[in-house]
Each structure stands twice: as C-alpha cells, then as structure tokens.
A and B are shown apart, each in its own frame.
Chain A
C-alpha cells in the first residue's frame, strides 16, 4: 500500500497503478548459446531475493507503461530511490 514516484510521469501515485516486474539488473546473457546450462539457469531462475534495500523493476502499468527501477526496503517497504530505466547504479547487489 505504498506510493511510488513515476520518474516519467513525474508524479507520486498509488502502488496499485504499478506492477512489480522483478529484480533489477538481471541482464539477459549477450550470447546465450555460449554459456553453460548452469549460467543460463542462473539468469532464468535464480534470484538474490535480498532482505533489506532491494533494487527492483516496476512498470507504470496503468499509467505511462514505462519501466523504471526502484530501491525499496523489503523490510519496511520504504522507497529509497527511483530512477528511469537504464540509469547507471554503482551499488548493485550481487
């Protein structure tokens, strides 16, 4: 029941307008055929599922339909940072 700021609409809106779209920084391997089954599985299935400050993707599904990234506490639900998609983030989790 939190509010999210959409960096494209430049408005803070109810969470219900948005859809969670999974952990951020899970990049599709550039050359899937060149990597092992294990690494492929890591991309498709394995997640950090961090407890604490967590970078994740959200999409303004009932709004501008744009994806963006959010740093949110998975403990308190506090929104700590919101950035347009593609913003360079130095403190990525592994």
Chain B
C-alpha cells in the first residue's frame, strides 16, 4: 500500500493498479475522547491536525454531520490574502499565510496553494485613501503589500477595463503578491489525511444533536451515532454556530446569511491573478481547470438554506462585466450558496465560553477560508492549554461586552 505521496509512490502505484492507502479511514466513534471537534470543515480539521501535531493530543475526534469539507470549505472562492487593516486581524491572517506557504509539504498533500497575487481595486478617492492606509499598515506589520496605479494594473491584467466608460472606473488597487488561491477540497482532505495519520478519528455522517453540560462544564456530545464523551469540545461549524451554541445554552453575536458564488465554463487561461472589488462587489479568479470563479454578495436575511436571491448573482455578473466586459458571452456553468456566520465587526470569535471546556471558533463571515491553517493552529493551542493563543486574544467573545471590537467593517475598501 502506498501511504506517503511521492514520485516514487506514484510510480509504484501506477505499476501496481493504484494500490493507495486510505487517506480518510472509515472509523467508528469511540465512547470517549480527550477532545471533540464539532465540524469537519477546513478549520475543524486543521484544529485536530495541530492538536495532534503541535499539542501532543492525539485522542481527538472530528465529528461531521455530512461529509468533510462539505460546508463553506467546499463552497467558497478560495481567495487567500493577509492584507487586513487592523493589527489584530493582519497578525492572525499573516500567521495563516505563513502556514499556507509550507502547508503542502507539511501535510504531504498538494493543496495547490497558488501565490498568483491578489488585487483589491479602488474606485473612488475614499477607496484610494483607505487603500493607502491599509497598505501602509501592512508594510509596517511586515505584510507584503503595495499600491498600484491603473497603468500598472493594466500591464499586469491586460484584459481589465480601466476606461472611464465604466460606471465606477478603476482608480488603483492594493496588491499582495503572496496572496492567491488554493484548492478548497484539497485543503480539507489534506488536513483530514494528515490528522488521521497522527491518530485523529474523522467521523462523517455524524450529526451533533446536543451538547452535554453538567454544572457549567462540558461532558460530551450526543450524536446521531450515539453519545460521545469528552473533556473538551471545540465547535467550528460555520453557518450553524448559533445552533450549537443553543445546545449548550449560549447565545452568540452572530447571524447566518446565504453567500453565493458561481463558476463559468472552463476556458484557456486568461486571468492569471485574483481581482477583488468591494465597491462594485465582485471578485474573480480563474481556476487551474480554466473556469472563472466568481464570488457574489450575501443576502440581507437570515437563512440556513444554502441558497439565495438570484439578483445577487446577477449583480455580481454585472460587476464582473464592469471590470471585464470581454466575459459577456462566457457562460455561468454552476452557482451555489453557503451559509456564513456574520459577526458585527467582521472578525471571528476564537474563544472559550462560560461553559468550561467548551470553545467556539466562528464568525468568520465571508472570509474564513484564507485563515484555515492559522485558525486551526491558534484554536488548537487555545483548547489544549485552556488559554487563548496570543494571536487569538483579541478575538475573545467578551469584546462585544467591553467594546474592544476589531472592526474590519469600518475599514471600507477591504473586500472579502
């Protein structure tokens, strides 16, 4: 059986009828674990991986109600960048970025992290002021970032429309060269496989239906596949965070909204970088398969339905045509929706709760994918030590009571 991925194992497998080992073994839940992670998305799997790898805790289960990576991990537009405005946010996302840069090797699984650069376009004088402010903050924080003018943008992205004919002409952009995209499913699978190899149980088709709390302390979870005890439980179930919180008698400062995206039919490569525009509200990249991957906005109403209003898709298409009029006769192949947790300050919660042993990692809004390894890493340490990882400290849930919001919202011009 071929376990480790290498050219040698590929050759051997090719000659022996592809006799690969199971990347994600089928396991039955045990009755008790040290730690249960609820939610088998990228963040949850990464948490389990780092618990096993860096915190020495291997008696860990990830319980997933469907299939791993089936939530927002597999539904997002896979943009990765760390050029956030506020120090707290940029430190966290830059931590993730550094992990991304070694993640394929670390996991022995190519997640196809492609540092093809990310442009955040500005369309007004205030956009450009915000861009300058953010880029300067990034540089001071050691995050690679630069301001580029329209001519440089045109040079790098010849197909973009920078004429004044656009309703909101492009005035400039911030550019992060280390930003890019990754293969979303691969991220979930890579973490799952690596965690499994370290002894973590990945249990799919296992829905948590209750969280057991006794005298203010978590005892375990009730699932569709039986009760599982644990000393500590970490909830990483974007979209459904409030539902899990309710099981433990908690409320969260979170609302769930549909977020939509779509892809075109596959074309030969024509767009070699990632372009985001908050002002006209569309973001786009072209995948290695050749399809244009386009992110749209969120619907304003609460929903758990993984579908939204078609006007949102239409607006995103119109926004893309503002930037790339040549795509008018390109066809949308498939559209879909996810459910995102939206936090009032557009920053996540990585935090213990008033229930002892129960931790939440949620509220990533529309931008969680890019943080996957960083989020899992700091959450693992937070659970393992029952003390927030230093980078997670600003993301305590109490900030909504103390008022210490991080507020990436206020910093307009930052698209997700």
A27 to B364, CA, bound (A): 27
User: What distance in Å separates the Cβ of A69 from its nearest Cβ neighbour in chain B?
Assistant: 13
Is the beta-carbon distance between A47 and B402 smaller than 8 angstroms? Answer: no
Query: For residue A19, which residues in chain B have a CB less than 8 angstroms away from its CB?
Result: 300
A15 to B301, CA, bound (A): 10
Is the beta-carbon distance between A47 and B251 smaller than 8 angstroms? Answer: yes
Does chain A have a CB within 8 A of B255?
yes
> CB < 8 Å: which of A41, A44, A47, A75 contacts B304?
A75
> CB < 8 Å: which of B243, B252, B305 contacts A47?
B252
Known: A20-B300, A42-B251, A56-B301. A47 touches B242 (CB 8 A): yes
Is the beta-carbon distance between A51 and B310 smaller than 8 angstroms? Answer: no
Closest to A52 in B: B304
> CB < 8 Å: which of B256, B300, B344, B402 contacts A74?
B256
Does chain B have a CB within 8 A of A81?
no
Query: For residue B305, which residues in chain A have a CB less than 8 angstroms away from its CB?
Result: 74-77
A49 to B242, CA, bound (A): 6
Query: For residue A77, which residues in chain B have a CB less than 8 angstroms away from its CB?
Result: 303, 305
Is the beta-carbon distance between B302 and A54 smaller than 8 angstroms? Answer: yes
B 297-352 contacts with A by CB, 8 A: 299-305, 309-311, 344
Contact with A along B235-258 (1 / 0, CB 8 A): 000001011001000011111100
User: How many B residues have CB within 8 A of the partner chain?
Assistant: 24
Contact with B along A1-37 (1 / 0, CB 8 A): 1000000000000011001101100000000000001
Known: A16-B311, A51-B240. A41 touches B302 (CB 8 A): no
Interface of A is mostly: mixed
Most A Cβ at <10 Å: residue of B243, B299, B302: B302
Query: For residue B311, which residues in chain A have a CB less than 8 angstroms away from its CB?
Result: 16
Query: For residue B255, which residues in chain A have a CB less than 8 angstroms away from its CB?
Result: 22-23, 47, 49
Query: For residue B243, which residues in chain A have a CB less than 8 angstroms away from its CB?
Result: 51
Known: A38-B401, A74-B256. A49 touches B309 (CB 8 A): no
Does chain A have a CB within 8 A of B400?
yes
Query: For residue A49, which residues in chain B have a CB less than 8 angstroms away from its CB?
Result: 242, 252, 254-256, 302
Contact with A along B271-315 (1 / 0, CB 8 A): 000000000000000000000000000011111110001110000
Total A-B Cβ pairs within 8 A: 66
Contact with B along A47-59 (1 / 0, CB 8 A): 1111100101000
Most B Cβ at <10 Å: residue of A16, A38, A49, A75: A49
A47 to B255, CA, bound (A): 7
Query: For residue A45, which residues in chain B have a CB less than 8 angstroms away from its CB?
Result: 253, 344, 400
User: What distance in Å separates the Cβ of A78 from its nearest Cβ neighbour in chain B?
Assistant: 10
Is the beta-carbon distance between A48 and B242 smaller than 8 angstroms? Answer: yes
A74 to B251, CA, bound (A): 17
Is the beta-carbon distance between A56 and B401 smaller than 8 angstroms? Answer: no
User: What distance in Å separates the Cβ of A62 from its nearest Cβ neighbour in chain B?
Assistant: 13
Is the beta-carbon distance between A15 and B309 smaller than 8 angstroms? Answer: yes
Query: For residue B303, which residues in chain A have a CB less than 8 angstroms away from its CB?
Result: 74, 77
Closest to A47 in B: B255
A29 to B253, CA, bound (A): 17
B 194-249 contacts with A by CB, 8 A: 240, 242-243, 246
Is the beta-carbon distance between A51 and B400 smaller than 8 angstroms? Answer: no
Is the beta-carbon distance between B401 and A41 smaller than 8 angstroms? Answer: yes
> CB < 8 Å: which of A16, A37, A75 contacts B401?
A37
Is the beta-carbon distance between B309 and A37 smaller than 8 angstroms? Answer: no
User: What distance in Å separates the Cβ of A17 from its nearest Cβ neighbour in chain B?
Assistant: 11
Query: For residue B240, which residues in chain A have a CB less than 8 angstroms away from its CB?
Result: 51
User: What distance in Å separates the Cβ of A86 from its nearest Cβ neighbour in chain B?
Assistant: 21
A 47-94 contacts with B by CB, 8 A: 47-51, 54, 56, 72, 74-77
Is the beta-carbon distance between B300 and A46 smaller than 8 angstroms? Answer: no
Closest to A94 in B: B251
> CB < 8 Å: which of B252, B256, B299, B309 contacts A46?
B252
Is the beta-carbon distance between A20 and B401 smaller than 8 angstroms? Answer: no
Known: A15-B309, A37-B401. A47 touches B300 (CB 8 A): no
A75 to B123, CA, bound (A): 37
Sample of 8 further A-B pairs with CB below 8 A, known A38-B401, A74-B304: A15-B309, A20-B299, A37-B401, A41-B401, A47-B253, A49-B255, A50-B242, A51-B304
The residues of B with any CB-CB pair to A shorter than 8 Å are 240, 242-243, 246, 251-256, 299-305, 309-311, 344, 400-402
A-B contact pairs, 12 of them (CB 8 A): A16-B309, A37-B402, A41-B401, A48-B251, A49-B252, A49-B256, A49-B302, A50-B302, A51-B256, A74-B256, A74-B304, A76-B305
Which 7 pairs of residues, A with B, have the shortest CB-CB distance?
A: A49-B242, A45-B253, A20-B301, A41-B401, A20-B300, A45-B400, A46-B251
